[in-house]
A and B are shown apart, each in its own frame.
Chain A
C-alpha cells in the first residue's frame, strides 16, 4: 500500500461515526465586536485602524489631487528606484500627471531579476479590497503585479478607491471567491512588516516593507 492510502485508511478507522454532514455555519456579527473607532464610516474606521498599526493614510478627492499627493510622497526617491503595477487606476494617473510619469515604470510583462527588485526603494500597487475592521489590504498576484513588488522594496504604496473598502474579512473573502483570475498567491497585509522577537519589543521593518502608505480616492 502506498503512503497516501495507508494514511487515509488510518484516518477512516475511527471509533465513532461522523456526526454532521454539513460544516457548521456562523454569522460574523454574532462573534465579532462592533466596529472600533469613533464613527461607523468605513473610511474613518479603516484609517483609524491603519494608523494604529503605524501605516500612513491619505484620502484625496480626485485623481488630480492623487497625482499631487503621489508626487510629494515620491519626491525624495529617484525615479529609477520606483516601480509600479499597471492597474487601470495607476495607468490613468500616469496619463494625467506628466510630473510623476517617470516614477511609475510598469513592471508588467518584463522579466525583472530579484537583484533589481532588491535595489528598488518603492513598490506601487493596486489592491483587491481594503478591510475596515482590521485596517488591512487584500491583494493578489494578478491585481498587484506579482509577489515581489509589494514585499521587497522598503516602501509599499497602495492606490485604491473608496468603494473598495469592505467592512470585514468575511466580505473580503467573498470578493476573492468570485474572482475568476488565475492567481497563485494572495496576501492580507495588516500594517508594515514587524517583529517582537527580541524581548517582545515591537520593531517595524523586519524583512518586508518598513513603510506602508495607503492612498484612497473618494468615489
Chain B
C-alpha cells in the first residue's frame, strides 16, 4: 500500500474511533493546563524568550560547521570518539562496528528520536543484539510491538487498562490498572537490565560547542542509569542540536521543559563531557558520539527551510495540531509526527511518497503560535505544497480549474453569477448529499452574505 493510501485509510479509521479520541483529548488537555500555568508562572515575557531562543539558534545555524568542529575537538580531548554519519546506513554501520568491537550482546537504550530515525531496534534485532527500551513510554510501545505515538509521550494512546494487560502478557506481572503499580512493575523489570547491559545508548537534546558536552533531558532517571552503569556509552545525535555554550542552557532547558511537558525544569538535565576520567569513581570506560546528518544538511541550500533546523523536538506543535489530535500519531507512519513531521519528512525522505503529509493540515497556524523557537511551521507546510505541486506531472485539470477559479473570483459580476449558480445546484443536490452517514450537511440559508450585508447597510 502506498504511504498516501495508508494515511487515508488510517485517518478514516481513527478519526471515527471515539475511544481513541477521548484518550488523546484527555492527555492533551492535561498537558495544556500544565503548560499554561508554567508559561505564565516561569516567564516574564514568553514571546521575548522564544524570539531570543530563535535568534540563538539562527546564530548556531550560521556558524554550524565551526561550532561542530569546536565540539569535536573539545570532547575528543577527553577520550570520546566522534563519528560523522551522512545517513541512516552509515550510522547503522558505525554502531554495528562498535558492538562487534566490544562484543556486545545486550543494549539498554534511553528515549531518543535519532534512534527511531535510523531504525535502531530493527538493526539490533538483525544483528542478534538484544535491545531494551528503558523509558517507560518507550518500553510500553516496544512490548506492544508498536512505534512511538508521539515524539515526547510515546504511549499516549494506551490506557492504564491496556498497559496492565500488556504487562501481564509480556512480563508476567500481576493484573492491575493502577498507574503507580504499573510504573513499579517497569522499575523492577528494568533495574537489573542497566547493570547487565554491555552498551548504553542515548540521544541528546543539545550539543554544547564551547565546553564540548552533550545534554540529556529526562524525568525518570533511565537516561542517567543508561549513561552510568554499562561500560560503553554511545550517543546518537542530530547535527542541528548545537548551542554555543553552557550558559545558553539557562534559557533552553526551561523553554524545552515548558513546551515539552509543562514543567519548570525536567527532573534530570545531565551534562556529559566524556567517559570516566582519571580520579572519577565510576562511569563508562569508553564513549562514542555519532553525529547524524541524514538529510539535515540538504536543507542548508534552501534558505526558506533552514529555520526548521531550529527545532528542539518539544512536541508542542503535535499537541496543538487539530489534524494530529484527530488522526493520531501512528497514521503519519514516520518517526516525527504532526506538523514538524509533515515539514521534515517530505524534505528528508522525498516528495514522491510523502508530500501528502504537507496537505494533511488546515494551515490554521496553531503549530507556529506554540513553537518555542518561533518557527513558522505552517508556512513551511505551504512551501512543501508548492514544491510538491512543481514536481507533480499530473494536475493539468487542477491547473485549469484554479485558473478558472481565479478568473471568476476577480470580477464582482462573475462571482455573483457563480455563487448564485452554486446555491441552486447545491439545493438540487442536497437530498442526495444528506444521505452521507457521518456528516450532516447544513441547509443553505435563504439569503446570501452579500444580500444580508446589503440589508444591514440599508438599516444602518
Contacts from A to B (Cβ < 8 Å): 2-4, 6-8, 10-16, 18-20, 23-24, 26, 28-34, 36, 49, 107-110, 112-115, 117-118, 133-134, 136, 140-142, 145-148, 151-152, 168-170, 172-174, 176-177, 182-201, 203, 205-209
Contact = CB atoms under 8 A, between A and B. Distances in A.
Interface in B145-170: 153-155, 158-160, 163
- What band does the interface of chain B fall in when counting residues whose beta carbon is under 8 Å from A? 35 or more
Contacts of B52: 24, 26, 31
Nearest to B292: A7
Chain B residues touching A, majority SS: helix
Interface string B38-72: 00111111001100100110110011110011000
Given A8-B68, A147-B224, A193-B221, A141 B270 contact: no
11 contacts: A2-B84, A3-B90, A16-B303, A24-B56, A177-B247, A184-B272, A188-B265, A190-B269, A194-B219, A205-B184, A207-B220
Contact of B183 (A29, A49, A195): A195
Contacts of B85: 3
A147 B183 contact: no
Contacts of A206: 136, 183, 186-187, 219-222
A146 B282 contact: yes
Contacts of B84: 2-4, 7
A147 B27 contact: no
A2 B250 CA distance: 36
Contacts, number: 269
Interface of B: 23, 26-27, 30-31, 40-45, 48-49, 52, 55-56, 58-59, 62-65, 68-69, 78, 84-86, 90, 134-137, 140, 153-155, 158-160, 163, 179-180, 182-184, 186-187, 190-192, 194-195, 219-222, 224-225, 227-229, 239, 244-251, 253-254, 261, 263-283, 291, 293, 297-298, 300-303, 306
A36 B78 CA distance: 40
Given A10-B298, A118-B191, A207-B225, A190 B303 contact: no
A8 B184 CA distance: 46
A190 B220 CA distance: 11
Contacts of B137: 195, 197
A158 B84 CA distance: 39
Given A7-B239, A114-B194, A151-B221, A200 B26 contact: yes
A192 B229 CA distance: 19
A26 B251 contact: yes
Contacts of B183: 195, 198, 203, 205-206
Contacts of A23: 56, 59, 244-245, 248
Contacts of B248: 23
Nearest to B264: A134
B86 A184 contact: no
Contacts of A190: 263-269
A194 B268 CA distance: 10
Nearest to A188: B269
B219 A151 contact: no
B136 A187 contact: no
Most buried by B among A108, A195, A197: A197
A168 B41 CA distance: 15
Given A185-B283, A201-B179, A196 B43 contact: no
Contact of A191 (B246, B267, B280): B267
